[in-house]
Chains A and B, each alone.
Chain A
Amino acid sequence: MANEVCFKNHHLDKPWTLQAYQSTGGYDVWKKILNKKTQADEIISELKTSCLRGRGGAGFPTGLKWSFMPRNAPGEKYIVCNSDEGEPGTFKDRDILRYNPHALIEGMAIAGYTMGASVGYNYIRGEFWEPYEHFETAVKEARAAGLLGKNILGSGIDFELYTHLGGGAYICGEETALLESIEGKKGQPRFKPPFPASYGLFGRPTTINNTETLASIPSILQNGGKWFLEIGKPNNGGAKLFSVSGHVNKPGNYEVPLGTPFAELLEMAGGMRDGNKIKAVIPGGSSTPMLPGDVMMDVNMDYDSIAKAGSMLGAGSVIVMDEKTCIVKALARISYFYYEESCGQCTPCREGTGWLSRVVNRIENGAGRPEDIDLLLDVSKKIEGRTICGLGDAAAMPVSGAIKHFRDEFQYHVDHKKCMVSAA
């Protein structure tokens, strides 16, 4: 079982066109909702049944999130799609935008209807020019077919959809930083509360969902929440896109049921490159703690199983590292990323990410001091939970994860001023 939700049209010729999308029942759900004026509660209840959890990384139940919106409150409300894909290892939303943009458009329209919003924004990272063009073309097609705009298909319902392009900042994937960015400001996360559902974009109630989450909605409502749930497993409904990269033969996106054994996913991705042994896996994007390869070989790919193994499913961004990988070097690169991308607003993150990056870097370059490994753990602890948004935690978790499982490599670097892997 693969490619049943966001990738279900992948086998078609030009799957991004309106014609291809409609050939597999695309926009049927939207038309039915417009025609029957389906109750919002009914839609939300179906989503709750499906156990769809946010695909951007946090895994928050989508049905519950939608229920927070004051949909009958007067005035404008907004639906925002987070296509600011940028967590290292993640490249799934790019393919949804390129190959199945109409599923996202239909999902956003349904979201707008359900939550009483007549305007939606899709925030696409600025570097994604080709995906942006595909998405814009699809929006034009949908508008021309009368599926977006004013009084859609004579229903009296309006929904307009716009794209906002980012300017290069990982932090804008944090939902309130993203809102700031649509408001034309620096992408610095907001204090919460108030949460976006009460005070969001332009000060109005707003719900932000990830691209994959929204693109999954039409299939769920087409086939029923139970259908989706049963693809996966309890509390981990549906299929999920896994972006597999690193030392595998066939890196790429694989849409498989949640709960699929990692070993199977690895096999789909062509197995290990050059016949090397697997050493470590980052299961959910660079912010999630890495796990030893042998642990991963016994883990299933769902939120609960990965959590039990000591990491997180995140956005399903699986980075595979073989036996020749220096863990210290890998961590140095990841730590530099968070240092580079910290918005600078909170002291523990602004200063702490710099400390992490500099200390890992000096260990990597043979200048590590005996106390450095514990220093890293100490700095990590002092960042975690002390910042406005999750970037601080995201910087800290890979550090403590790498040291937990590969402390000997860090120690070897410190003691011998060289790498254990290349020395072997």
Chain B
Amino acid sequence: MTLSSKDAQTLSATQSPAQSKKAKAANSKLDLLSQNVCAEIDQWLAKYPADWSISASMPALRIVQDSNGGYLTTDLMDAIAEYLDVPAISIYEVATFYSMYELKPVGRHKICVCTNISCMLCGSDEIVSHLKSKLGIGFGEMTGDGKFSLKEVECLAACGGAPMMQIGREYYENLTTEKVDEILNKLA
């Protein structure tokens, strides 16, 4: 999964791993990655040793997912592999192993509800059934208008504010059904 030393020699601090390769590749998918996305990935690449571009697979997946409405496609994963100059399988492996990567479309607001022990003790069952009936969807589903999707997640390390949920990058803690309504009503 790592670059061969020969490949590594072609890298330099200012050149992203795939740039030298870009001209060669027929049916390249690199165009799927915008300049902004590439620039952001480059910032992460700079954190790792030059011959470890694979280390940027996780940030790259997150950045690309965010720029694609919250989910990844095989083409996008192929583009990341090409950009980082690593085998596509190593990107698929990462994308399927970690829970934060989505491989099918999700709502504009992905609601991640913790149901683990501390949240359960503090009433997450009630929060979950309220969300399900309010949105008319179950876990792993999206509302018809594409606004919300619902996901059951494992402990998000905010047990002091149980029950809790995450929407986008925000944590919402000490939830009640009224508070959930308020939060959802404010989301565009």
User: Contact residues of A with B, CB < 8 Å?
Assistant: 76, 85-91, 93-94, 121, 125-130, 162-170, 181-187, 202, 243-247, 251-253, 282, 286, 317, 319, 321, 325, 329-330, 333-334, 337, 340-341, 343
Residues of A within 8 A of B47 (CB): 121, 162-164
The main secondary structure of chain B at its interface with chain A is mixed
User: Contact residues of B with A, CB < 8 Å?
Assistant: 1, 47-49, 52, 54-59, 61-62, 86, 90, 93-94, 97-101, 112, 115-118, 120-122, 153-162, 166, 169-171
Known: A126-B98, A162-B47. 4 other contacts (CB 8 A): A86-B157, A88-B154, A163-B47, A182-B48
With A127-B100, A184-B52, A319-B118 already in contact, the answer to whether A252 and B58 are too (CB < 8 A) is no
Q: Report whether B57 and A93 are in contact in the complex, using a CB–CB cutoff of 8 Å.
A: no
Closest to B53 in A: A184
**Complex Cα spacing A7 to B173, Å:** 21
With A162-B47, A245-B160, A337-B154 already in contact, the answer to whether A286 and B117 are too (CB < 8 A) is yes
Closest to B124 in A: A333
**Complex Cα spacing A337 to B156, Å:** 12
Q: Report whether B94 and A321 are in contact in the complex, using a CB–CB cutoff of 8 Å.
A: no
With A126-B100, A184-B52, A184-B94 already in contact, the answer to whether A246 and B121 are too (CB < 8 A) is yes
24 contacts between A and B (CB under 8 A): A85-B157, A88-B116, A90-B159, A93-B157, A125-B157, A126-B100, A127-B112, A164-B59, A167-B61, A167-B101, A168-B99, A184-B86, A185-B93, A185-B94, A186-B93, A186-B97, A187-B97, A245-B121, A245-B159, A319-B117, A325-B121, A330-B120, A330-B121, A340-B154
Residues of A within 8 A of B90 (CB): 184-185
Q: Report whether A128 and B157 are in contact in the complex, using a CB–CB cutoff of 8 Å.
A: yes
**Complex Cα spacing A341 to B154, Å:** 9
Q: Report whether B121 and A321 are in contact in the complex, using a CB–CB cutoff of 8 Å.
A: yes
With A184-B56, A337-B116 already in contact, the answer to whether A169 and B98 are too (CB < 8 A) is yes
**Complex Cα spacing A246 to B119, Å:** 8
Q: Report whether B94 and A333 are in contact in the complex, using a CB–CB cutoff of 8 Å.
A: no
Q: Report whether B59 and A253 are in contact in the complex, using a CB–CB cutoff of 8 Å.
A: no
Residues of B within 8 A of A246 (CB): 117-118, 121-122, 159, 162
Q: Report whether B157 and A181 are in contact in the complex, using a CB–CB cutoff of 8 Å.
A: no
**Complex Cα spacing A252 to B120, Å:** 16
Q: Report whether A253 and B117 are in contact in the complex, using a CB–CB cutoff of 8 Å.
A: no
Instruction: Kindly identify which residue among B54, B169, B171 contacts A183, using a CB–CB cutoff of 8 Å.
Output: B54
Residues of B within 8 A of A126 (CB): 58, 62, 98, 100
Nearest CB of B to A50, in Å: 26
**Complex Cα spacing A91 to B170, Å:** 16
Q: Report whether A91 and B158 are in contact in the complex, using a CB–CB cutoff of 8 Å.
A: yes
**Complex Cα spacing A247 to B159, Å:** 11
Closest to A95 in B: B160
**Complex Cα spacing A289 to B118, Å:** 15
Q: Report whether B54 and A245 are in contact in the complex, using a CB–CB cutoff of 8 Å.
A: no
Q: Report whether A88 and B54 are in contact in the complex, using a CB–CB cutoff of 8 Å.
A: no
Residues of A within 8 A of B99 (CB): 167-169
Residues of A within 8 A of B49 (CB): 76, 202
Residues of A within 8 A of B101 (CB): 167-168
Q: Report whether A87 and B155 are in contact in the complex, using a CB–CB cutoff of 8 Å.
A: yes
Q: Report whether A91 and B154 are in contact in the complex, using a CB–CB cutoff of 8 Å.
A: no
Q: Report whether A247 and B55 are in contact in the complex, using a CB–CB cutoff of 8 Å.
A: no
Instruction: Kindly identify which residue among A94, A121, A337 contacts B157, using a CB–CB cutoff of 8 Å.
Output: A94
Closest to A90 in B: B157
Instruction: Kindly identify which residue among B94, B120, B160 contacts A244, using a CB–CB cutoff of 8 Å.
Output: B160
Instruction: Kindly identify which residue among A121, A165, A187, A247 contacts B62, using a CB–CB cutoff of 8 Å.
Output: A165
Q: Report whether B58 and A181 are in contact in the complex, using a CB–CB cutoff of 8 Å.
A: yes
Q: Report whether A170 and B52 are in contact in the complex, using a CB–CB cutoff of 8 Å.
A: no
Closest to A324 in B: B121
Residues of A within 8 A of B93 (CB): 185-186
Nearest CB of B to A206, in Å: 13
With A85-B157, A244-B160 already in contact, the answer to whether A167 and B62 are too (CB < 8 A) is yes
Nearest CB of A to B186, in Å: 18
**Complex Cα spacing A333 to B1, Å:** 36
Q: Which of B58, B117, B162, B171 has the largest count of A CB atoms less than 10 A from its CB?
A: B117
